[in-house]
Amino acid sequence: MEEKEISQAVIGRLPRYYRYLGELKMSGVDRISSRELSKLMHVTASQIRQDFNNFGGFGQQGYGYNVGFLYEEIGKILGLDNDHNMILIGAGHLGQALINYMNFRNRGFFFRGAFDVNPDLWGKEAGGVKIYPCDDEKMKKFIADEKIDIAVLCIPKTQAPAIAGKLVSYGIRGIWNFAHVDLPVPDDVQVENVHLSDSLMKLSYNLRRHTSETAKNGKKSEDWDRNL
């Protein structure tokens, strides 16, 4: 498929389509129209058609999309037809929560090892993988030997940029970053940030705005898009 430039907003919506299509497929649904999918997902049918047109439209022919085909195609676009090998950097509470989360494995994302500065953790296991010292040579060799493509960063923000720089020099091409800082990495390294505090502040904004609107207008807010 010829690929044109696709906005990160569209990409951000693909996993949600993938999730709904997976559930439809599991429920035995073979075909679905953009209008039915729209109703289910609470997005407009025109948005769905526009999003899918970025990838050639997936061939809706008046009588709906083929659910199994669409699910598989979106999976391919998301790179889920390949497995990913990951390392965890920082095996604290959050890191151990991520490494124990089965869903990632089901999608082809496998933690192969964890690294931490805390000697109490060295040699122990989390989620079935060993925890190693955050030693430069060890990390470098592990990344090469185990063909690691993604590093998951669960370390304090003060340390994250320096560690990210090292990991990139060892061959890491993708960083899933939970440290609350933006990472300065080369353009050919992909970073996906999960800034939990930012997300909580957004919730706080929406709570405050809604409360003040209700107080002012005495009516409910109708515009909230709960699917963001």
Closer of 135 and 192 to a second copy (Cβ): 192
Task: Give the residue carrying structure tokens 């190693």.
Answer: 132
Query: For residue 181, what are its two tokens?
Result: 């800082």
Residue 225 found at the interface with a second copy (CB under 8 A):
yes
Binding region for a second copy (CB under 8 A) out of 16-24, 26-34, 45-53, 56-64 = 16-24
Q: Binders of a second copy among 89-108, rule CB under 8 A?
A: 92-94, 96-98, 100-101, 103-104, 107
Q: Binders of a second copy among 32-91, rule CB under 8 A?
A: 41-42, 77-80, 82, 84
Q: Per-residue x/- marks for a second copy, 120-149, CB under 8 A? A: -----------------------------x
Rounded to an integer, what distance in angstroms lies between the CA atom of residue 88 and that of residue 177? 10
Query: Is 190:172 a contact under the CB 8 Å cutoff?
Result: no
Binding region for a second copy (CB under 8 A) out of 62-70, 117-125, 130-138, 220-228 = 220-228
Query: Is 103:168 a contact under the CB 8 Å cutoff?
Result: no
Closer of 62 and 93 to a second copy (Cβ): 93
**CB neighbours of 83 closer than 8 A, spacing ≥ 6?**
108, 109, 110
Rounded to an integer, what distance in angstroms lies between the CA atom of residue 176 and that of residue 12? 15
Residue type present at position 180: H
Residue 26 found at the interface with a second copy (CB under 8 A):
no
Nearest approach in angstroms of CB 63 to a second copy is 26
Query: For residue 165, what are its two tokens?
Result: 């720089």
Rounded to an integer, what distance in angstroms lies between the CA atom of residue 150 and that of residue 191? 10
Nearest approach in angstroms of CB 142 to a second copy is 19
Query: Is 85:148 a contact under the CB 8 Å cutoff?
Result: yes
Residue 218 found at the interface with a second copy (CB under 8 A):
no
Nearest approach in angstroms of CB 178 to a second copy is 10
Residues in contact with a second copy, total (CB under 8 A)? 76
Q: Per-residue x/- marks for a second copy, 156-185, CB under 8 A? A: -----------------xx-x---x-xx-x
Q: Binders of a second copy among 188-217, rule CB under 8 A?
A: 188, 190-214
Nearest approach in angstroms of CB 108 to a second copy is 8
Nearest to residue 166, comparing CAs of 190, 192, 134? Answer: 134
Query: Is 20:37 a contact under the CB 8 Å cutoff?
Result: yes
Nearest approach in angstroms of CB 124 to a second copy is 15
Query: Is 65:32 a contact under the CB 8 Å cutoff?
Result: yes
Name the DSSP letter for residue 59.
Answer: G
